[in-house]
């Protein structure tokens, strides 16, 4: 039996060969695809497919912050609005905000605030909308990953992108990027948000129980996965930039300049 959050199952989350329900090795991430600039009316946007998760992020701003009493005269507010569509999960989700969506909106806002140069835009709000169209565990990581690509697509100045991935513990094994059954019936889940350029962790949560050694191994696994997520984010932005350059008939950015002797 496996349990997290009190749920139990007879499912064999790790088989005799050490493989998981969907055939992944413990340190294997689900397939990840990112496309930047998918929405015409947003200032920036990104679409992420991560395993069975499908998440859209749209950015508006920096724009005047309303209501005015929320304005900060010294910096911009990064305000994330995470929403899970009612059709995104098996049991229809009641539409509208709930405690979980408030929590996820808050932690993603905080993670993004660490990388945005908020001091450049006093009194403004940078609004980030995350819409989960299909959910299969790990939507906060997919949402944060999509949101930082959407911010870059909007041209918001940032220290770096935030890349995100979770690790956890399933059937006494430390694993990367938990799927739905692993999230429901596993023993622990640690979502991580990482800034590769500065080596900072800007999101870290833990649900369940881990020994200090398991926690270290899980965190290490998640940070390494974030570095891979980062490459996919950058590729999406490069493709977007190249497509825009063709549309606007401007030269694409030069590849790294070779030193000429």
| Six token digits for residue 23 | 């055939």
Rounded Cα–Cα distance for residues 62 and 150 (Å): 13
Segment contacting ligand UDP by CB under 6 A, of 19-27, 59-67, 130-138, 151-159: 130-138
Q: Answer yes or no whether residue 30 interacts with ligand UDP by CB under 6 A.
A: no
Which residues make Cβ contacts (< 8 Å) with residue 70, sequence separation at least 6?
77, 125
Q: Report which of 184, 253, 259, 182 is spatially closest to residue 218, judged by C-alpha positions.
A: 182
Rounded Cα–Cα distance for residues 57 and 236 (Å): 14
Least distance CB 90 / ligand UDP (angstroms): 6
Q: Answer yes or no whether residue 3 interacts with ligand UDP by CB under 6 A.
A: no
Rounded Cα–Cα distance for residues 7 and 17 (Å): 25
Instruction: Compute the CA torsion angle 14, 17, 19, 20 (nearest 10 deg).
Output: -30
| From 93, 114, 169, 240, residue interacting with ligand UDP (rule: CB under 6 A) | 93
Q: Answer yes or no whether residue 138 interacts with ligand UDP by CB under 6 A.
A: yes
Calculate the alpha carbon distances from 121 to 79, 127, 156 in Å: 14, 13, 10
Q: Which C-beta is closer to ligand UDP: that of 124 or that of 148? A: 148
Helix (H, G, I), strand (E, B) or coil at 87: coil
Q: Answer yes or no whether residue 135 interacts with ligand UDP by CB under 6 A.
A: yes
Q: Answer yes or no whether residue 240 interacts with ligand UDP by CB under 6 A.
A: no
Which residues make Cβ contacts (< 8 Å) with residue 190, sequence separation at least 6?
166, 167, 168, 204, 205, 206, 207, 210, 215, 218, 219, 222
Segment contacting ligand UDP by CB under 6 A, of 20-28, 30-38, 117-125, 138-146: 138-146
Q: Which C-beta is closer to ligand UDP: that of 57 or that of 156? A: 57
Least distance CB 195 / ligand UDP (angstroms): 19
Least distance CB 162 / ligand UDP (angstroms): 15
Q: Answer yes or no whether residue 100 interacts with ligand UDP by CB under 6 A.
A: yes
Segment contacting ligand UDP by CB under 6 A, of 27-35, 106-114, 137-145, 212-220: 137-145
Q: Which C-beta is closer to ligand UDP: that of 43 or that of 131? A: 131
What sign does the CA torsion over 117, 57, 184, 221 have?
negative
List the interface residues with ligand UDP, window 139-198 (CB under 6 A).
139-140, 180, 183
Q: Answer yes or no whether residue 137 interacts with ligand UDP by CB under 6 A.
A: yes
| From 109, 125, 136, 148, residue interacting with ligand UDP (rule: CB under 6 A) | 136
Least distance CB 45 / ligand UDP (angstroms): 20
Cα-flanking dihedrals φ and ψ of residue 218, to 5°?
-65, -45
Residues in touch with ligand UDP (CB under 6 A): 89, 93, 100, 135-140, 180, 183
């Amino acid at each position: 039996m496996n349990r997290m959050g009190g749920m139990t199952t007879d499912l064999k989350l790790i088989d005799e060969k050490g493989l998981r329900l969907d055939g992944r090795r413990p340190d294997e991430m689900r397939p990840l695809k990112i496309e930047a600039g998918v929405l015409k009316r947003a200032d920036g946007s990104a679409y992420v497919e991560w395993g069975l998760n499908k998440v859209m992020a749209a950015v508006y701003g920096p724009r005047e912050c309303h209501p005015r009493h929320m304005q900060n005269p010294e910096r911009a507010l990064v305000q994330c609005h995470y929403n899970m569509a009612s059709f995104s999960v098996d049991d229809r989700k009641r539409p509208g905000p709930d405690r979980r969506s408030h929590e996820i909106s808050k932690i993603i806002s905080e993670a993004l605030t660490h990388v945005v140069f908020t001091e450049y835009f006093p009194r403004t709000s940078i609004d980030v909308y995350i819409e989960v169209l299909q959910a299969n565990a790990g939507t906060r990581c997919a949402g944060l990953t999509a949101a930082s690509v959407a911010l870059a697509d909007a041209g918001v100045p940032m220290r770096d992108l935030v890349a995100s991935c979770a690790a956890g513990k399933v059937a006494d094994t430390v694993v990367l990027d938990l799927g739905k059954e692993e999230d429901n019936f596993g023993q622990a889940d640690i979502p991580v948000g990482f800034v590769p350029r500065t080596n900072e962790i800007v999101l870290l949560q833990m649900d369940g129980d881990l020994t200090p050694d398991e926690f270290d191994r899980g965190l290490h696994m998640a940070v390494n996965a974030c570095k891979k997520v980062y490459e996919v984010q950058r590729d999406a932005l490069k493709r977007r930039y190249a497509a825009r350059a063709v549309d606007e008939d401007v030269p694409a950015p030069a590849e790294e300049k070779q030193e000429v002797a």
